[in-house]
Structure 1
């Protein structure tokens, strides 16, 4: 992996009121169980100032690997996981500058 090609992806999810535990568990389950070729690392966070808001910060070998994973996830269906969310997950694909 070339560090020039690597991207960091920030994923943000917001649980529906009363669904915080399910949203957290679904996020962790998705990270732990799905195949992710090209995923270098993933760290998950809970926002202490905004209960029910969770983040995953992932490093991917390249943007193509991330997009391939998202395509596979969409085809596999994520309807059950997103039912406990207020809105679809937000993602930001980031590249280091400087």
Structure 2
């Protein structure tokens, strides 16, 4: 299927210093709190898909510090990052 199906991207602007450990912990807390973020579907060798909810999942995390780049370069790099991310898509078989 289409790797971009079920795939949503969002971005936001943070004013002031970014507390990276606190942001990462907040996302880890969201994963722990909301089962839908730990849900996967398996359908290989099955008649019907099976939904599974993991107790825990690893939080994929990428931190890119582009503060030293000028605004034009940041915009180009951000657009390229989003395009690459869309190409990777979303795997419903992984939580």
TM-score range normalised by the length of the shorter chain: 0.3 to 0.5
Which has the larger share of strand?
1
Greater fraction helix: 2
TM-score, normalised to structure 1, is 0.32
- TM-score scaled by length of structure 2: 0.32
The structure number with the bigger radius of gyration is: 2
